């Protein structure tokens, strides 16, 4: 048995969550329901404009790993923070959830700070993300422990982390070490604009290395430059062994071995959509790596997503195993 | 009209909220439902032991001021943080709520950090608080702007801040400036053990300076060293013009001018009791300073308390005015 079921790599950050209305998004030029990268001056400006907020550890792949760890999965995470208060909060929350997290912290006297994501939550529960990458941008191949990657049944790569050239090298190193030890590679496309920025690189990776692809509808359509989801699913499944495409309240599609399962969403009042896709992936990977079949793993994903959209913040608050049991998938 | 309805003075801090069970409290020697002061090594140890947490601005008087500001009240707050990430979070959240907050930050290279309160929330919703005071302990008379105190209809003094000799001088300075400008003084006793530590000083202040006393049942009993609430209420009302005593799900007592009102609590599922007393005081003071009679102000207090115990964190999340309207007190 390998030491880790999944090792995730991504942008380490703390979420700063605040309610906002549509007019606020418009007045501040914030694209709804997507992720925008911002620099520190913009982060300071935006933070000064938002209402009272709360801080909860985030980061897409980190949320996925936290979800798996919450379920009792054997996990590790790689992502860069600074030795500052937000960095210590990020590290604490991940370790307290049971994940191994050993990426060296950037020194306390360095100029960049720990990354953060200012998330505006509109009354419809949608989240609009404004990311100051901070130290998470400076993930390099040196931060990748090849031995750890070799101990992973799966690695989980966050598409967002493609926003930084040194990370391409880091991903390549992780993939090499993982594959050499017969591990497998999963990737999440993260965001439609992220796909725009990195379509060619994603495509190469999908064809050459990826065994399991996570995307939502908008991301998959962007990836395959079509408006027809069936066509996009077919194109993806021709390139990747397992394709998982979430479609918010329409549930999720799982494609593998020439089969196509549709898994229904769990009807839920959306309080804050932050982390829905991340927790879907965490639960799916947990199901997959504990021997569940793909459809059950997909149902677990939908249940976990419904938990996390029912409250503010992207980390689980209720016992997911109890929810699985209630929905008779455990 | 004075510039401020209320100026609050207290321990400025960020809350670190995490769920915990009774066994965790016992194993770590944490007194349930009260506040314990801890030093930095204990804070580090305890933080290492708790599960994933979330960070929300707190501080008792700061919560009260945030509640008033949320209601549209003209408020200011005085309390000490450092120029670090948690200090900036504290300052942002208070200002974003509409309060004036001008206390100079301690420099970024100073040794102490911004104060924080590790709050363990048990399944019954009760909160057990472990406070690292950090810079909030070093509030001195120099941090009190006499001109600001003179602009206050009321000042609101947090009993917790008696844990520091320089603060006694700071409080005295604030009281003097406020009273000389015909302002009035309110005090919250904060915590039964806080009353134990400072009974004599509190008593002097109550007799000499306080026009409005806030306490909960345990605090008032400790103050007057009796187990009979009626006796404690009578003793307090002999010394202070307005006495407000909250009694959790039994509601609150308001005594003034020889009258005694009992205000019922709003039945609520307790998710996290943190801030119930603080928000009661904020809503009560808002009612009082907008010309409501004392019974209505008390009802507003109970409604605001019910809002804040219905979610994690000690700052309001729903529109309190809308709640007041629904309960026909507005």
pLDDT of residue A251: 97
B86 touches chain A (CB under 8 A): yes
A99 touches chain B (CB under 8 A): no
Nearest residue on chain A to B99, judged by CA atoms?
A: A52
pLDDT of residue B159: 97
Which CATH number fits the domain that encloses residue B169? 3.40.1190.20
Question: Across the interface, do A54 and B53 touch by the CB < 8 Å criterion?
Answer: no
Residues of chain B contacting A274 with CB distance shorter than 8 Å: none
Domain count, chain B: 1
Range of the domain at A163: 4-11+60-109+135-326
Question: Does residue A200 fall inside a structural domain?
Answer: yes
Q: Which of residues 103-142 of B touch A (CB under 8 A)?
A: 113-114
Specify the pTM. 0.95
Question: Across the interface, do A66 and B52 touch by the CB < 8 Å criterion?
Answer: yes
Question: Does residue B74 fall inside a structural domain?
Answer: yes
**Positions of chain A with pLDDT under 50:** none
Q: Give me the sign of the Cα torsion angle A132, A138, A139, A143.
A: negative
Question: Does residue B102 fall inside a structural domain?
Answer: yes
Rounded to whole angstroms, how far apart are CA atoms B91 and B102? Answer: 9
Question: Does residue A218 fall inside a structural domain?
Answer: yes
B50 touches chain A (CB under 8 A): yes
Q: Which of residues 53-82 of B touch A (CB under 8 A)?
A: 53-57, 66
Question: Across the interface, do A52 and B93 touch by the CB < 8 Å criterion?
Answer: yes
Rounded to whole angstroms, how far apart are CA atoms A267 and B236? Answer: 53
Of A52, A89, A96, the CB nearest to B51: A96
Residue in B19, B55, B62 to test binding to A, most A beta-carbons within 10 Å: B55
Query: Could you count the other beta carbons within 10 Å of the beta carbon of residue A60?
Result: 29
Residues of chain B contacting A54 with CB distance shorter than 8 Å: 54-56, 313
pLDDT in tens, A264-314: 999 999 999 999 999 999 999 999 999 999 999 999 999 999 999 999 999
Question: Across the interface, do A97 and B54 touch by the CB < 8 Å criterion?
Answer: no
Which of A99, A97, A107, A91 is CA-nearest to residue A156? A99
Residues of chain A contacting B47 with CB distance shorter than 8 Å: 92
**Euclidean distance between the first and final Cα of chain B, in Å?**
22
Question: Does residue A282 fall inside a structural domain?
Answer: yes
Question: Across the interface, do B89 and A50 touch by the CB < 8 Å criterion?
Answer: no
Q: B181 vs chain A: nearest CA distance in angstroms?
A: 32
pLDDT in tens, chain B (330 residues): 999 999 999 999 999 999 999 999 999 999 999 999 999 999 999 999 999 999 999 999 999 999 999 999 999 999 999 999 999 999 999 999 999 999 999 999 999 999 999 999 999 999 999 999 999 999 999 999 999 999 999 999 999 998 887 889 999 999 999 999 999 999 999 999 999 999 999 999 999 999 999 999 999 999 999 999 999 999 999 999 999 999 999 999 999 999 999 999 999 999 999 999 999 999 999 999 999 999 999 999 999 999 999 999 999 999 999 999 999 999
pLDDT of residue B191: 95
Question: Does residue B195 fall inside a structural domain?
Answer: yes
Question: Does residue B255 fall inside a structural domain?
Answer: yes
Instruction: Convert B122-142 to b/e letters by CB count within 10 Å (16 or more is b).
Output: beebbbbbbbbbbbbbbbeee
Rounded to whole angstroms, how far apart are CA atoms A28 and A23? Answer: 9
Question: Does residue B72 fall inside a structural domain?
Answer: yes
Q: B97 vs chain A: nearest CA distance in angstroms?
A: 6
Question: Across the interface, do A93 and B66 touch by the CB < 8 Å criterion?
Answer: no
Of B66, B86, B313, the CB nearest to A85: B86
Rounded to whole angstroms, how far apart are CA atoms B212 and B235? Answer: 14
3-state helix/strand/coil string of A166-230:
HHHHHHHHHHHHHHHCCCEEEEECCCHHHHHHHHHHHHHHHHHCCCEEEEEHHHHHHHCCCCCHH
Question: Across the interface, do B52 and A113 touch by the CB < 8 Å criterion?
Answer: no
Q: Cα–Cα–Cα angle for A233, A237, A238, nearest 5°? A: 120
Rounded to whole angstroms, how far apart are CA atoms B13 and B137? Answer: 10
pLDDT of residue A139: 95
pLDDT of residue A163: 84
Q: Which two tokens stand for residue A152?
A: 């992973």
Instruction: Convert A268-301 to b/e letters by CB count within 10 Å (16 or more is b).
Output: bebebbbbbbbbbbbbbbbbbbeebebbbbbbbb
């Amino acid at each position: 048995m390998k030491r880790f079921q999944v090792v995730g790599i991504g942008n380490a950050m703390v979420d700063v969550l605040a309610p906002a209305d549509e007019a606020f998004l418009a007045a501040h030029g914030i694209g709804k329901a997507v992720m925008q990268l911002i620099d520190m001056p913009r982060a300071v400006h935006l933070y000064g404009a938002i209402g009272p907020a709360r801080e909860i550890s985030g980061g897409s792949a980190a949320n996925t790993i936290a979800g798996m760890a919450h379920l009792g999965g054997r996990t590790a995470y790689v992502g860069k923070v600074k030795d500052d208060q937000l960095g210590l909060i990020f590290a604490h929350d991940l370790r307290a959830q049971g994940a191994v997290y050993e990426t060296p912290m950037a020194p306390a006297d360095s100029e960049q700070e720990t990354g953060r994501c200012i998330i505006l939550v509109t009354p419809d529960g949608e989240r609009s993300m404004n990311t100051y990458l901070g130290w998470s941008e400076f993930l390099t191949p040196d931060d990748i422990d090849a031995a750890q990657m070799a101990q992973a049944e799966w690695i989980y790569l966050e598409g967002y982390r493609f926003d930084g050239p040194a990370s391409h090298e880091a991903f390549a190193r992780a993939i090499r070490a993982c594959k050499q030890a017969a591990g497998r590679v999963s990737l999440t496309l993260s965001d439609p604009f992220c796909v725009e920025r990195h379509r060619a690189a994603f495509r190469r990776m999908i064809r050459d290395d990826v065994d399991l692809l996570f995307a939502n509808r908008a991301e998959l359509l962007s990836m395959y430059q079509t408006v027809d989801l069936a066509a996009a699913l077919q194109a993806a499944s021709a390139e990747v062994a397992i394709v998982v495409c979430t479609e918010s309240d329409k549930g999720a599609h799982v494609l593998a071995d020439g089969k196509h399962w549709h898994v229904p969403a769990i009807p839920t009042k959306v309080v804050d959509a932050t982390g829905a896709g991340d927790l879907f992936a965490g639960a799916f990977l947990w199901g997959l790596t504990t021997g569940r079949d793909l459809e059950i793993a997909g149902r677990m994903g939908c249940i976990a997503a419904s938990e996390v959209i029912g409250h503010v913040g992207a980390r689980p608050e209720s016992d997911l195993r109890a929810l699985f049991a209630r929905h008779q998938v455990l």
